Amino acid sequence: MVIVLDKNIDEKKLENVIKHLEDFGFAVHKSTGIQQIVLGAIGVKPDFDIRKVKILDGVSEVYRITEPFKLASRTFQKEDTIIKIKDVEIGGNKVVMIAGPCSVENEKQIFTIASIVAKAGAKILRGGAFKPRTSPYSFQGLGEEGLKLLRAAADKFNLLVITEVMEVNQIELIYKYTDIFQIGARNMQNFSLLKELGKVTKPVMLKRGLAATVEDWLMSAEYILSNGNREVLLCERGIRTFETYTRNTFDLSAIPVVHKRSHLPIAADPSHATGLRDKVLPMARAAVAAGTDALMIEVHHDPEHALSDGPQALLPDQFEELMKQVKLIAEVIGRKM
Ligand code: PEP
Ligand code: MN
């Protein structure tokens, strides 16, 4: 931690700041510049609240130089984490395609879409059976019936399954049907859910919260990791900004930022990030160019009648075109799909 002191700090205040830092358990190094004194405090604990220093009389600025997350950091683990499920690897050289409808609606719908996305090259079938809808009056998902249909459709077309878990009491049920648990944006800081998913033996995809910084997001990943589950896939799905022409703002820079700070793989979800079908293809290309390890794309054969997120779902031929284009982009940066 670096502490910049006020320009005209007197000796008494300076001694007081140093005494506090030592009492907090830090080794203090003083450096006197031409205009200001800067203190270096060594031995910062990850959970130390730097505001305790910010409020001391005579302190101008405080900067943390170590990251508050540990297990998620590159400092802790240099090599990329590769999540292996059957013959699919997430975080390796291949960019993995996750695709499917927003929600599982009925047998015909999920089997039709599974067949389309499998043929185009997707490896993982998505579909919500428990839906976190903004309105309590919107379709809430088929529950266990949806999970059964999703699993059956995925098995028929040799796909893996990812589906959202919203509550701790759904974990046991969903475990029976899924290969990857999805934590939705609205639950990114549901700490009791994160802790419980830290105890399961299946990978977890953690979506970024609507108003979460990358640091908040990695701290949430830390909850899962520190409870024992080391298979965490992050997912950038857009954040809330003042922009209204897209549903959210796709923070593409989060991809290289996460890759630098963390060894965890990252997926990108341009469907929820933009919320509009015609924006999905260009942003999917951009996400692959930015280095995403996986893409999550919503697809529907009849989006006009979809029970959720129809306007952002790609039609089958649009999805095929997307697959072709992102494959080309992947090759440019030395990856495959
Ligand atoms: C979803 O992927 O189905 C979903 C609800 O996304 P998000 O949590 O990102 O809104
Ligand atoms: Mn959706």
> Both 195 and 320 in a single domain?
yes
Nearest atom in ligand 1 to 103's CA: 3
> Does residue 167 sit within a domain?
yes
State whether 214 and 286 are in the same domain. yes
142 in the same domain as 187:
yes
CA dihedral (289, 294, 296, 297) positive or negative? positive
Is residue 187 domain-resident? yes
We report the CATH number of the domain holding residue 21 as: 3.30.70.1140
User: pLDDT under 50 in the chain at which residues?
Assistant: none
pLDDT given at position 35:
85
* Cα–ligand 2 centroid distance for 3 (angstroms): 45
The pairing of strands 124-126 and 160-164 is: parallel
pLDDT computed for residue 43 by the predictor = 84
HEC string of 278-295 equals HHHHHHHHHHHHCCCCEE
Percent of the chain beyond pLDDT 70?
100
- Inter-CA distances, 279 with 30, 32, 80, 184, 185, Å: 53, 53, 30, 21, 20
Say which CATH number the domain at 235 has: 3.20.20.70
Say yes or no: 113 and 163 in one domain: yes
What's the domain count of the chain?
A: 2
Atom of ligand 1 nearest to the CA of 182: 2
C-alpha of residue 106 to centroid of ligand 1, in Å? 19
The rounded distance, in Å, linking the Cα atoms of 271 and 236 is: 11
Q: Is residue 141 within 8 Å of residue 310, measured between CB atoms?
A: no
Residue 142 lies in a domain: yes
Rounded distance from Cα 232 to ligand 2 centre (Å):
21
- To test ligand 1's pocket by mutation, which of 164, 193, 235 has the most ligand atoms within 8 angstroms of CB? 164
Ligand nearest the Cα of residue 164 is 1
If asked whether residues 132 and 31 sit together in one domain, one would say: no
What is the Å distance from ligand 2's center to 38 Cα?
49
CA of 66 to the centre of ligand 2 (A): 36
Residue (of 117, 102, 89, 121) closest to 293 by Cα position: 89
Nearest CA among 301, 298, 321, 296 for reference residue 309: 298
Give the model's pLDDT for residue 223.
97
Task: Assess if residue 70 is contained within a domain.
Answer: no
Q: Are residues 7 and 122 in the same domain?
A: no
269 and 237 in contact (C-beta within 8 Å)?
A: yes
Look up residue 166 and give its two tokens: 């919203």
Pocket test for ligand 1, best of 206, 207, 240, 308 (most atoms within 8 A of CB): 207
Domain boundary among the residues 63, 94, 111 is at 63
Residues 125 and 247 in one domain: yes
pTM of the model: 0.92
The CA distance from 128 to 134, in Å, is 14
- Shortest-distance Cα residue to atom 4 of ligand 1: 184
74 domain residue, yes or no: no
Give the HSE-up count for residue 292: Cα atoms under 13 Å, Cβ half-sphere.
30
Strand partners, 98: 124, 296
Q: Of ligand 1's atoms, which has the minimum distance to the CA of residue 308?
A: 3
> What is the predicted pLDDT for the residue at 333?
97
Q: Is residue 75 situated within a structural domain?
A: no
Which residue minimizes the CA distance to atom 8 of ligand 1? 184
Which ligand is closest to the CA of 207, given by its number?
1
- Same domain? For 319 and 189 the reply is yes
Residue with tokens 């830390």: 222
* Rounded CA separation 70/183 (Å): 21
* Residues contacting ligand 1 via CB (< 6 Å): 102, 128, 132, 164, 184-186, 207, 237, 272
In a domain, 78, yes or no: no
- Domain enclosing residue 8, as ranges: 2-63
